[in-house]
Amino acid sequence: MCIVGLMAACEIINPEESIPAYIHIEPFEVTTALTQGSTSSKITEAWLTVDGDFLGAYSLPADIPVLKEGEVELRIEAGIKDNGITATPEIYPFYMPYITQATLKPAESIDILPRAVYRNGIDFAMLEDFEQPPYFFTQDIDGNLNTRVTPSSEDVFEGSRSGKITLTPENNIIEVATDFARPFKEVNKDGIYVYLELNYKTDTQIAFGLIGNHSGNQLPEVFYQPILFPKEEWNKIYLNLSEVVFSLDAETYQVAILAQLPAEMEEAHIWLDNVKLIHF
């Protein structure tokens, strides 16, 4: 009797552990329609929900233990680094969640290849791939026509051209914006999210922002916020301009770029491609 009692007590202290099933999630595959531009992406995490229970965000590719078995629904949302900052992971609001059914078995792993597509009802206010005119970044602000974004076939990201900026000691600052004759309207009409997607590489820092144009005699306002740091290789980034739009609260907007040649450099180059201004 004492031995039986002791064994029962041990089971209470050390209960039998459940054996998890495993979900292996590959990096997202992105597809776009013709009117949505490049499929280029930088989805860094999968935000996983299983049968309505949120399990967390996981760096891709990921192997995730799950204490469930049988038929389940998987909801996988595409995670990005807001403004390219590791400390600000976010679910990208413009991608649809990937939802699928799976059968989980203890100690077994299933493979998932999630797909990402843009949500319906998104407004692609700007799609600039520098492949053919009319180009967007034509509004000179700095008063120097020698500093501009020029379509170039040198070292392109994809396609046949990318946008290129060259800074020298004689032409050491560029401040340029999208065409004033084609302003972006109703950017904050149906939601709080406004993002600028782009591919880039650069020898110097670049600031991106918005020009807010108001009616009447009120002068345009310029607000720069996200800053990109030098990158030797092509990079993809999602710039969150939502706060900038909220601060400006303008009738129309232009996207602006500001960069300067570092004092220790004789020449700096900036390459841009697949610039998308997206909002609901």
Per residue in 259-271, pLDDT (tens digit) is 999 999 999 999 9
Distances (CA, A) of 150 to 63, 91, 165, 177, 191: 44, 33, 6, 13, 33
Q: What are the domain boundaries of the chain?
A: 14-116, 123-279
Beta strand 184-185 with 221-228: parallel, antiparallel or unpaired?
unpaired
Element (H, E) at 228: strand 221-228
pLDDT in tens, 111-144: 999 999 999 999 999 999 999 999 999 999 999 9
Do 157 and 129 contact (CB within 8 A), yes or no? no
Among 171, 131, 133, smallest CA distance to 259 is for 171
Return the SS3 of 2.
helix
Query: In this structure, what token pair is assigned to residue 109?
Result: 């792993």
Provide mean pLDDT across the span 76-80: 98
Topology at the third CATH level for domain 123-279: Jelly Rolls (2.60.120)
Sheet order of strands, 21-25 included: 62-66, 21-25, 109-112
SS3 category, 244? helix
The reply to whether CATH 2.60.40 applies to domain 14-116 is: yes
**pLDDT over 80 at 7, yes or no:** no
Residue bearing the bigger pLDDT, 10 or 43 = 43
Question: pLDDT digit string (tens) for 197-252?
Answer: 999 999 999 999 999 999 888 899 999 988 999 999 999 999 999 999 999 999 99
Predicted structure pTM score: 0.91
pLDDT at 188: 81
Rounded to 5 degrees, φ, ψ at 225 are -135, -70
Question: 216-226: per-residue pLDDT in tens?
Answer: 888 999 999 88
